[in-house]
Amino acid sequence: MSRLLFLASTAFLLTACQQASAQKKDIERSIERGQALYVEYCESCHGVNMEGGQAPTMADDIWVYGGTDADIRRVIKEGLEEAGMPAFDDVIRAQNLDDLVTYIRSDVETFIPPTIDDVPSVQDQVKIEDWATDLDEPWAVHFIGDGTALVTEKSGKLWLVGNNSRMEIKGIPASVDKGQGGLLDVATDPDYAENRWVYLSFTHPDKNAPKTLMTKIVRGKILVGTVRADWTDEETLFQAQPKDYIETGYHFGSRITFDDAGHLFFGIGDRGKKEEAQDLTRPNGKIHRIMRDGSIPADNPFVGVEGAYPSIYSYGNRNPQGTIVHPKTGVIWETEHGPRGGDELNAIKSGVNYGWPKISYGINYNGTELTPYTALPGMEQPVSQWTPSIAVCGLDVYTGDLFPQWRGRLLAGALANQSVRLIDVEGETYRGESILIKDQGRVRDVTTGPDGAIYVALPRRIVRLTPKD
């Protein structure tokens, strides 16, 4: 090794160690500040060591009113009238509240997710056949009827695809095909049959600085004629502030999903600015929640927090490329890319910090340590994680009739691993997984069709999976 390279490597490792040391000190100072707040406001009721007294113990990790960090914050802020606990919203500021939650969590044993290895295969149970071919990097597949789907191509085209037909939809918003960016997800409104709204996520350039990019969400309608189809009635639902647009060409997210209460969820990756995933004044590295018309739900966790994007629902999310609301349980499932290792399966909850980049099961791409921590107080653990990375992308819940034994399981695509994983979950608990298909190509999206078949987007085609028998 040359002296210059040795000095550069030494300086890099020294900087990494200094950053890890500074991170540890930040946590220690937060715990100290939180302890002071606990002594002042909580100790008289909850005991010197959180062992309980006039109020219940907080040392056993059993929480009557919800056990997430967001639940604990809410109870402290709003109080519990029925339990005689006052609200502390007027006396404990937001940052101080985070310190208090960090201290409360500091002595609680952290759940460690299972390591996934020796994954069984169920490939012998499915038949694979081409459904649509000669596509250019299809990014998303969304069915709007029997045998008809909307398909996005990363290069910027939206297609209406049938079994033996294809029609390009003209007039959609211009996107930038750069790196991982381009035309991304497509979804239809839960009440599509009545209102005909179609939603798109895509990489958008700032008009005054076109080299800077950010994920944007719009909706519109499609008028289908005999020879052409047109995009109309476009409305912008989410657009970041110009100052938050970034030149990098990666980590844009972004899937769209809906719950039964009228909310729309979408994710934006950290855009390569990993520390900003912890910054509530930035939109990147977050899961967002808005109403279907783009308005902000009044109960979003950071509404009213000075400088915060009010659409933020969770934060500390590296690059979410799979998001789906489970139709039976309502759990918001998310898969996100780790760095080198540490791809995550998360159950997304309001106001929760998922830790990136403070905690991770991955390392830097060059093999050096990213962070010394896989767990820290106040940061949520993944339900499960993949190390080595499989490069997760695309997520759905199987709801069809062709494979009744799999109904309710997650369908998770993987790019580098070139597979679809069939994940068994119960509530928010991971129960195991199997490989549905492997080595057919990089999987960008996976969805259940109206016919009960499973459709998988590969680099140049979409394939249809049906029972082998």
Span 286-320, pLDDT tens digits: 999 999 999 999 999 999 999 999 999 999 999 99
Q: What pLDDT was estimated at residue 338?
A: 97
The per-residue pLDDT for range 74-86, each reduced to its tens digit, is 888 888 877 778 8
Q: Which residues of 358-386 are buried (b: 16+ CB within 10 A; e: fewer)?
A: bbbbbbeeeeeebbebbbbbbbbbbbbbb
Residue 32: what pLDDT? 82
Identify the pLDDT of residue 50.
78
pLDDT confidence of 151, banded at 50, 70, 90? very high
d(CA 135, CA 441): 14
Given 204, 251, 326, 337, the catalytic residue:
251
CATH topology for the 3-105 domain: Cytochrome Bc1 Complex; Chain D, domain 2 (1.10.760)
Strands 229-238 and 166-170: parallel
Question: Between 92 and 134, where is the model more confident?
Answer: 134
Whether 170 shows a pLDDT value over 90: the answer reads yes
Active site annotation includes 142: no
What is the C-alpha to C-alpha distance for residues 291 and 468, in angstroms, rounded to an integer?
A: 41
The pLDDT value given to residue 8: 44
- pLDDT for 117 beyond 60: yes
Residue-level pLDDT at 95: 67
CATH of 123-467, one of 2.40.340.10, 2.60.40.650, 2.120.10.30, 3.40.50.1220: 2.120.10.30
Q: State how far Cα 256 lies from the chain centre.
A: 10
* pLDDT-derived band at 14, boundaries 50, 70, 90: very low
Mean pLDDT value across residues 104-121: 69
- Does the pLDDT value for residue 364 go beyond 60? yes
Residue 116 or 353, more confident: 353
Q: Mean of the pLDDT values across residues 24-50?
A: 80
Q: DSSP readout, 51-63? A: --SSS--SSS---
Q: Could you read off the pLDDT of 387-437 as tens digits, one per residue?
A: 999 999 999 999 999 999 999 999 999 999 999 999 999 999 999 999 999
Residue 218 three-state SS: strand
pLDDT of residue 45: 82
Domain ranges of the chain: 3-105, 123-467
> At residue 17, does pLDDT exceed 50?
no
1 contact partners, CB below 8 Å, separation of at least 6? 9
Task: State the average pLDDT over residues 35-43.
Answer: 84
